[in-house]
Amino acid sequence: MASLKELKDRIKSVKSTQKITKAKQMVAAAKLRKAQAAAESARPYAERLAGVMGSLAGKVNGDSAPLLLRGTGSNQRHLLVVVNTDKGLCGGLNANIVKEAKKQARKLIAEGKDVSFYLVGKKGRAPIKRDFANSIDRHYDTSDMRNPDFAEAEKIADDLVAKFEKGEFDIAHLVYPIFKSALAQDPTTVQILPVPTPDEIVESDAAVEYEPDEEEILEDLLPRYIKTQLFGALLEREASEQGASMTAMDNATRNAGELIDKLTIQYNRSRQAAITTELIEIIAGAEAL
């Protein structure tokens, strides 16, 4: 049985931990509002850009389409771009992202495809390395960022496009979390290279002439679309991280409170038992006299 001093020290330690988790919860809650607003504001732009690109893609034929749209003509080599966080203490967020990435990888391997990984963020590396150590193509750290910015997305997009144009892979998939609420962040997988066109392209009745032609516009628009997709993924990751961190720290704070209550009860019982024992010894000694 723990001594009174040990119980007292443990209560003090748990209280210190509770203060830290409470502070981290408040910090995450303060950051969440801004991160959520940024993620939600980026979604309409990305959707509209995809619509414009799809409209243009529908007017371009086969071999005349840019490489980023028509692809390499093969679908054998697949690259999974996995967007994790650089920091922990955000519950099961990173574990869920890694789980989604592994599921997609195993599905492709079962189909006879070659799979490699492009890892953005630090926290997903170790679990992916355990199962796919020889398939890691590149690590990309975003730890220097205070907040995601478009320049960061441009660096990643330019790197991916360069690899695609060199023929290092045929298809790239983006695995990232979509922020829904502080309690829900759903990992999803979307294709980013070659750029997918909408299944249904809405034709306009208006006569539109493009200057320059559609191919030249797409040459400029396609890289921007890829950068926008990556930027949106970074924004969604930031909002998901803050939401998951706030929830995890709230749970940790409440668990610490419950542990403090249990330890306090145990301390009081032990203290009362010690006092009772001392009283019995005093009374027994007095009676012996």
By residue count, the chain amounts to 289
Q: In what order do the strands lie in the sheet with 184-193?
A: 136-140, 114-120, 77-83, 171-181, 184-193
Query: Catalytic residue at 90?
Result: yes
Burial level of 91, CB count in 10 A (0-12/13-18/19+)?
buried
Say which residue the tokens 């409170």 belong to.
Answer: 257
**How close are the terminal C-alpha atoms of the chain, in Å?**
33
The contacts of residue 201 (CB under 8 Å, 6+ apart) are 54, 55, 57, 58
Catalytic residue, chosen from 56, 90, 108, 256, is 90
The residues that are catalytic are: 90
